[in-house]
Amino acid sequence: MLRFRSLGSGSSGNATLVHARSGTTATTLLVDCGLGVRALERRAAQAGVALADVDAIFITHEHSDHIGCARSVARRYRIPVWMSAGTHQALREQDFDGLLRIAVDGDPITLGDLRIDPFAVPHDAAEPLQLRCTDGDARLGILTDLGHVPPPVLAQLAGCRSVLLECNHDAGMLESGPYPWFLKRRVGGDWGHLANAAAAEAVRALAPLGLQQVVAAHLSRKNNQPALAREAVAGALGCAPGEVHVADQEEGTGWLDA
């Protein structure tokens, strides 16, 4: 059984729990650590997870809304931390007290009941990796912080039943919104963040390949509205807008079966 739960998503911080269970064993992965320690501990506890029981942390890239409290949580609870070599270099950290593990684009990671497949994405960070997780049955894709979805990235998500997918902005709201022009260009560019329409296009391509559930994530507070993201995704998935989950900055989501 594979399930997942956002503990918060957006430019103020991202963290997602992925939990696999088979028979008597269970594996818990924490993807990104972009919250304060207290908030992370509290939201994990609300999800029924003690951080001491997290088997590994996977950091997608070095931006502060993803790295957050990874250093202190890893050390405090002695949790191995996976990231790309480029992300590690950008952080100018030693080896996290021996807890550092280097993830490589295309090299699967086996973690108890979970298999993790990291893959490279176009984003303005050193070497960002997003990921696909499976317990051998269900497949979950996690895809945020990318400017566009090139075919190799789309191919990584083929066959995923669930995807936590960035729906960062509505192009019109970004264009007419309060950001200075350089930031508009960065966010809306090919190496920035995914627009609702681009997310919907990916969903449209993945729906015939088995995609059934989408969690819209990393929504911009200034340049998007949950209703717009829901509408875009629902149109592409062929479901009602209410069936599309939105990962809230403060609340995340409940547990969802992948």
- Count the site residues for Zn ion by CB under 5 A: 3
Name which position in 41, 145, 166, 170 contacts Zn ion (CB under 5 A): 145
Residue 170 interacts with Zn ion (CB under 5 A): yes or no: no
**Of the two residues 12 and 212, which places its CB atom closer to Zn ion in the complex?**
12
CA 159 to chain centre: 17
Query: Which residue's CB atom is positioned nearest to Zn ion?
Result: 63
119 in Cβ contact with 156 (< 8 Å) = yes
**Of the two residues 217 and 258, which places its CB atom closer to Zn ion in the complex?**
217
84 in Cβ contact with 103 (< 8 Å) = yes
Which of 3, 12, 53 has its CA nearest to residue 32?
12
Instruction: Report in angstroms the alpha-carbon separations of 123 from 10, 23, 118, 164, 192.
Output: 15, 39, 15, 17, 5
Which of 142, 149, 189 has its CA nearest to residue 169?
189
Task: Provide the mask over 34-63, with x wherever binding to Zn ion is found by CB under 5 A and - wherever it is not.
Answer: -----------------------------x
Task: Provide the mask over 61-100, with x wherever binding to Zn ion is found by CB under 5 A and - wherever it is not.
Answer: --x-x-----------------------------------
Helix (H) / strand (E) element for 213: namely strand 213-217
**Of the two residues 27 and 141, which places its CB atom closer to Zn ion in the complex?**
141
| Binding-site ranges for Zn ion (CB under 5 A) | 63, 65, 145
